[in-house]
Amino acid sequence: MYIFKTIRETTRYLSEQKNNGFTIGFVPTMGALHAGHLDLISRSVKDNDITVCSIFVNPIQFNNPDDLKKYPRNLDADIELLTISGCDVLFAPEVGEMYPEGENYSLEIDFGDLDKVMEGQFRPGHFRGVAIVVKKLFDIVLPSRTYFGKKDYQQLAIVEFMVAALGIPVAVVACETVREADGLAMSSRNVRLTALERQQAPRIHQVLCQLRDKLQNTSIHEMKSWASQQIEQGTEMKVEYFEIANSTNLMPAEVWNGQDRLVALTAVYLGSVRLIDNLELF
């Protein structure tokens, strides 16, 4: 596997590969890789001639400085996992490479309400930071296909929206959430849970599954407060939001008309760790 720290080396190598007619699959990550990330890598390895992974803890998408400071970093282990998974290129830039001093990095896209609800409401500026870095990475890698996890459901919607709005010629491939055996969605932040918190965390997925089975005969409003209560009851968990939304545009649903595809999405604090999860209900 080639490991590049600079944009120049990366674009030089990849433009040669493109000139050879090779397709490029791209998996952007923030590292501390787990089986969820590796699933995206193996999808890309299957679909493309060359697979590129980026590891970059993007400071401008963190609204909480403590979360940024404590974000797990483990580049040596990541390199080993990527090599075993058949990844061809790792792009792992420093912050100064992506955001040189004095360079303007704004992005003018009107996401409508998509970047204002749920994660957008509770993490102001988060999706602007995500969109800026993903656009920059796309410009560097120029992938034919890119792989994103449904674990970050709203982020996936933001990326799809941006790709359509800017006419970026890349296919966005949505990949299912990979879970631990007890249902907890894999996340780099899980390593920060204490043993007790780790024991309680699978409740989030259990409640999402119960909600999916119950939805038919109860109102959406009742379902949301029921689910929040179920998650918090007898645990240290604090629900930041629990939303049921239209899975196409992510607008909160008030009533279910029996036809719309809905998704339940939640963010939960367990101590200082913020976990997100979701489940498509139909």
Residues of this chain that interact with ligand AMP (CB under 6 A) are 29-30, 36-37, 39-40, 148-149, 151-152, 175, 177-178, 185-188
In 3D space, the residue among 201, 146, 192, 151 whose CA is nearest the CA of residue 172 turns out to be 146
Looking only at the bridges linking them, the beta strands covering 89-91 and 2-4 are parallel
Cβ-based neighbour number of residue 278 at 10 Å: 24
Give me the least distance between CB of 114 and ligand AMP, in Å please: 16
Specify the residue, 151 or 203, whose C-beta has the smaller distance to ligand AMP.
Answer: 151
Identified catalytic residue from 34, 37, 205, 221 = 37
Give the containing element (helix H, strand E) for 198.
helix 195-200
- Distance of alpha carbon 276 from alpha carbon 186, whole angstroms: 10
Instruction: Find out whether 213 and 193 touch, Cβ atoms under 8 Å.
Output: no
Looking only at the bridges linking them, the beta strands covering 273-280 and 262-270 are antiparallel
Specify the residue, 39 or 243, whose C-beta has the smaller distance to ligand AMP.
Answer: 39
Cβ-based neighbour number of residue 8 at 10 Å: 11
Give me the least distance between CB of 175 and ligand AMP, in Å please: 6
The closest residue (CB) to ligand AMP is 149
Structure tokens that stand for 36 in this block: 């969820």
> Strand, helix or coil at 275?
strand
Distances (CA, A) of 122 to 29, 41, 187: 22, 30, 19
Specify the residue, 224 or 278, whose C-beta has the smaller distance to ligand AMP.
Answer: 278
Structure tokens that stand for 274 in this block: 């913020």
Give me the least distance between CB of 34 and ligand AMP, in Å please: 7
Specify the residue, 78 or 223, whose C-beta has the smaller distance to ligand AMP.
Answer: 78
Distances (CA, A) of 106 to 59, 129, 132, 165, 235: 14, 9, 7, 16, 41
Overall size of the chain counted in residues: 282
Specify the residue, 15 or 174, whose C-beta has the smaller distance to ligand AMP.
Answer: 174
Give me the least distance between CB of 229 and ligand AMP, in Å please: 25
Give me the least distance between CB of 21 and ligand AMP, in Å please: 27
Give me the least distance between CB of 39 and ligand AMP, in Å please: 6
Q: In what order do the strands lie in the sheet with 145-149?
A: 2-4, 89-91, 50-55, 24-29, 145-149, 171-175
* Amino acid type, 128: R
Specify the residue, 29 or 230, whose C-beta has the smaller distance to ligand AMP.
Answer: 29
Could you confirm whether 221 is annotated as catalytic?
Answer: no
User: Catalytic residue numbers?
Assistant: 37
